[in-house]
Each structure stands twice: as structure tokens, then as C-alpha cells.
Amino acid sequence: MIPEWLEARQLGEEAFEAAYAAALPQERALVKTAIATLYTWLDPSDLLWMRSEAEKGQGLCLSTRSSPRNWAVVQIPAHCCDPGLVVGAVLPLLAAGVWPVIAFLEEEDPNRQEAILALELSGVETVYILPSTMMEHALKQWMRGDANGPGIVVSIDPGTILSCGQENNASGGHMLVKLPRPQKAGVWLQEQDIDLWALSFMHPGLDCGVWSEVERELPPGFRSICGQWFDFLQQRLDVVWVPRSLMNQALNTFSLVLGPGQEPVWIWPWYVSSLAGHIRLAVAQGQKPESV
């Protein structure tokens, strides 16, 4: 249930339409590419709507039920409105079948139009614009809302949310997921195989170094670094973009490796849809728990 004081802060349909109209066709296409990639990787299925019964050794019987959580709130701070981050934060929840998925954006961010575009194209229909001073109060309201059923609060680069603890329910209440903001990225450039313009639009907050064996002129916002492939592999980076032929080598070093055509994408590899599942468990000795 949405608190009454929050309703006045909800974005209207006209705000979504304005964000869509203001974006260039190629910008909308980049967001759609990110959405399509994440859906393919997450492989949406009915696995979260699942019952299982099993007899284990020593006469132990287990019965489990898994279903999507009843709601999700995603906090997007002003410095994390990169379209790639927004898509990466909401898609695992939507793919899990969680509904509603609600987004909180900070009022102080002058560049939130791209975030609204990413939310609109992802299918998030309920968005609130809040001053940073109200963000923690709003999150606590959701974390305490027993009547809403088990939910999940997701925060990119958590700040105020750090003082919001998980519901005091030892067997499983609301979940709090903190998504660290990626800081450093690297590109290994051969010819012009990585689209730097796409990177700058979808990940404007990344510190991105572009490596190659020769010095290059680059668009604003990128650092040209002359070096060898071996030198590139020694770096500590959150994500890299490399040619298709080098992706397997890069995966020996880096946790997230993306190739040409995947410039719009950001993925937290551990942030999968199963995190949005609510699990109930019954354990019995000697016989299966009674089926319902």
C-alpha cells in the first residue's frame, strides 16, 4: 500500500512521454539493446513459481515453495542515473515476475530524463521523485509495511539506505540488496570495433580508459592509454569491452566482459532473478509433510 503523502510525488504519464520524445531514436535503441541482452541472460522462466518435495537420507523429507516477492522498490540516487545502471537494477526483478516494481529517483538530479527513459522502456510504471532528505523515510515505510507481504528493496550505491535494516523476521521477511556502483572501466580498441558514443550515453559516470597499441584521438570523457594487451590484463576494472576474439582471454581476469554491440549493457553477475524469490520450507522426519 502506497502512503498517501507519497502519491503527490508520483510521475504522471506525461513525464514518461516527455522523456521518450526528448530522446534520439539511437538513444532509445541503445536502451532497448540493454533490455534485450539482460532478458536473454536472465532467461525468464516459471522457476520462481515452484513446489518441490524430496526424501533425503536418514528419513528426512523436505518440501519447498518458491514464488516472486510481492513488491520491489529500487532506489536510484542522483549520481547513479546512468541508463545502463537503471536497466541493470530493474530487469532481474521484472524477469522474476515481481509486481509492482517501484522506482525512487532523487529530485536533485538535473539529468534524470535518461533514467526515466530507461524505466519507461523497461516497463516500470510507478516512479516517484523525492528529495534526498525524504528518501530514507520512504524506504523505511516500505521495509516496515507488513501488510504488503514480503518484498525487496534494491539500492544502487547505497547511501541513506544503510540505516534501513532487514525486517526482524528470522525465517525470511523483506530483503535488502545493495548494488555497488561500478567505478572503473576499460576498452581494448582495435580499429573501431567498440562504439564509444554508445558507452558515453549509457554509462556517463564511468571512469573509462581506452587502451590500444597506438595513441588515438578520443571523444571527450575518455582517456587514451597506449599499451600492450598484457598491460591491459593487469588492470583492476569493474567491466571491460573487448573484441569478440579476446573475450575468453579477458574472462580469465575480469568478472564482466562485454563485446562489440553490447556497449549499452551493465550487469551485476551475481544479481540474478532468483534473489527476488520468496522461499517457504517445511522439514519433517520419516514422512513427507502433508501436501496442500
What tens-digit pLDDT sequence spans the chain (292 residues)?
A: 566 778 888 999 999 999 999 999 999 999 999 999 999 999 876 666 777 788 777 778 888 888 898 889 999 998 899 999 999 999 999 999 999 999 999 987 778 899 999 999 999 999 999 888 888 777 777 666 555 678 888 999 865 554 444 444 555 677 888 999 999 999 999 877 899 999 999 999 899 999 999 888 888 889 999 999 999 999 999 999 999 999 999 999 999 999 999 999 999 999 998 888 888 888 888 765 565 5
HEC-encoded secondary structure of the chain:
CCCHHHHCCECCHHHHHHHHHHCCHHHHHHHHHHHHHHHHHHCCCCCCCEEEEEECHHHEEEEEEEEECCEEEEEECHHHCCHHHHHHHHHHHHHCCCCCEEEEEECCCCCCHHHHHHHHHHCCCEEEEECHHHHHHHHHHHHCCHHHCCEEEEEECCCHHHHCCCCCCCCCCCEEEEECCCCEEEEECCCCCCCHHHHHHHCCCCEEEEEECCCCCCCCCEEEEECCHHHHCCCCCCEEECCHHHHHHHHCCCCCEECCCCCCCCCCCCCCHHHHEEEEEEEEECCCCCCC
Q: Is the pTM of this model over 0.85?
A: yes
